[in-house]
Chain A
Amino acid sequence: MRDFEGAKKLFKDTIDTKYYFDSVSAEVGKNKILEAIKEKNAPLIFVIADPGEGKSYILKLTNEQIKDEQLTIFIDHPFFDKRDILKMLYEAKGKFFDPSVNFNTLKEEIAKEYKDINHTIFLDEAQLLNDEQMELIRILSDTKVFQFVLAMHKEEGLAILQKKHFKSRTKVIVYLQSLTNDEIERYIKDTLLLNGYGDIGVMFKKKYVKIIGKYTNGNFRMIKKFLYALFGLLSHAKQTGLVKYQKINKCLLVMTALDIGLIDDK
């Protein structure tokens, strides 16, 4: 008996670094980041991709892989004031942050604290930072003490890179790409097989994977969302005894795309 409800849970939109899907783009990107961190050849590392193409995933995965070897700070939300980042750096080092102290003094003190420590600061959604905060990151990176890994949306990220803060700075840029149809097929089948749903995995013929790729444009997050919705429909069909919809067909894929708004039928 096919357990569509169980398979559905595998594609919930959460980041689980225990299961890493080694797409070519992700693998190349991850290795490039690790190499730059190890060699410390650039204080600024930019990870640029469209939303849902795995920036956060790559950042978390890299953080997981190096956090035992060095000090890492992972900031997954933007901060409102430039002092916030200093506060986080102070707290990560176990130091008391005194907001009444002059900003420059705070900056010099924290630079001294981090000078001899191997560390990396991961900053997700960095496209949300304002000019003042960007300038602070630039100043901190110029001290050659701090190393930043910034994940940004493609459109905004490319514009930020053109700004005076970063244009002339030494930096490493990692571009993540969407998945190819072969990679989508491998991702679906591997995920299902590894979790004991091989019988469901065989239902995904190449022609259906191609349709999924067409609707999702190979976007990793969208693929997961699509599969989550698809298994929801399959599960419902099974529960209500609709035999026609208990196996994957073109109509069911269209229904899924309509359900998550990938097809505009208005």
Chain B
Amino acid sequence: MISSRFEELQKRCKKYYRKRIIKLISFIILFLILVGIILYFSFIKTDKIKTIEKNITISIKKTSTLNLKPVVELEEPSIKVKKNDKKISKDKIIKKKAKPISIKQSEIKKKPILKLIVEKANKETILLKNYNINKDFSSSIKLAEYYLNHKKYNKALNWAKNANKFDATRAESWIVYAKAEFSLGKKDDAIKSLQTYLHTFYSKKAAMLLEKYKTEE
């Protein structure tokens, strides 16, 4: 064998190994890039899942807040409810269910407001629940007074009328009715209703209120 041939083979061998090493390194780099890409995307996926989970938690929180604050309206203030007839279906009474109200995250974080809303919603719900269970003058007039205090005068009127159906002899429903009418600017109607009551029955509170409205004339 000629020496030059041997030397050439040596060089080719070295070159061949160099190529193989480059190939191997390229392969490792590609592999690492691929692994990196896979990990990156899997991380994003996990992150997305976490965000979705977080959103679900927030939405659950929101829903629970909203559930505590249903907007309830009576279908007709003049529902004929007899004392003994307690079989009034829930559907008839509740006209509208709570609509989802968008509450911003920042709003949720304001704890005092939230607390207030929750408390408010809680009281109203309790009163409504109470009415649904008892369906009597007491539960009805409490709702009327509640709405009057919260300046929801129309609702107060409706619930006062409803209470009156249970017991028209009691002054409370007449007083709430008169106050609501007065607040709505219907002063004459307020005086008229109080006079109607006092014409048949007597109540110190009703009389004083009538005097008050009359003097304001």
Contact = CB atoms under 8 A, between A and B. Distances in A.
Interface string A130-159: 000000000000000000000000000000
Interface stretch (A37-45, A82-90, A258-266): A258-266
A232 interface: yes
B105 interface: no
Interface string B7-26: 00110110111010000000
A240 B17 CA distance: 24
Contacts of A235: 1
Contact of A240 (B3, B12, B19): B3
Interface of A: 232-233, 235-237, 240, 242, 251, 254-255, 258-259, 263, 265
B13 A233 contact: no
Chain A residues touching B, majority SS:
helix
Nearest to B12: A258
A265 B15 contact: yes
Chain B residues touching A, majority SS:
helix
5 contacts: A233-B1, A240-B6, A251-B17, A255-B10, A265-B16
A258 B9 CA distance: 7
A255 B3 contact: no
A254 B15 contact: no
Contact of A236 (B6, B17, B19): B6
* Of listed A235, A242, A259, A263, residue having the most chain B CB within 10 A: A259
Given A236-B6, A259-B9, A254 B1 contact: no
B10 to A, nearest CB: 7
A258 B13 contact: yes
A258 B15 CA distance: 11
5 A-B pairs with least C-beta separation: A236-B1, A255-B9, A255-B13, A254-B13, A265-B16
A259 B10 CA distance: 10
A258 B7 CA distance: 12
Given A237-B6, A254-B16, 11 more contacts: A235-B1, A240-B3, A242-B6, A251-B13, A254-B13, A254-B17, A255-B9, A258-B16, A259-B9, A263-B16, A265-B16
Contact of B19 (A233, A259, A265): A265
Contacts of A251: 13, 17
Contacts of B12: 255, 258, 265
* Of listed A235, A236, A237, A263, residue having the most chain B CB within 10 A: A236
Nearest to B10: A255
A232 B15 contact: no
A239 to B, nearest CB: 8
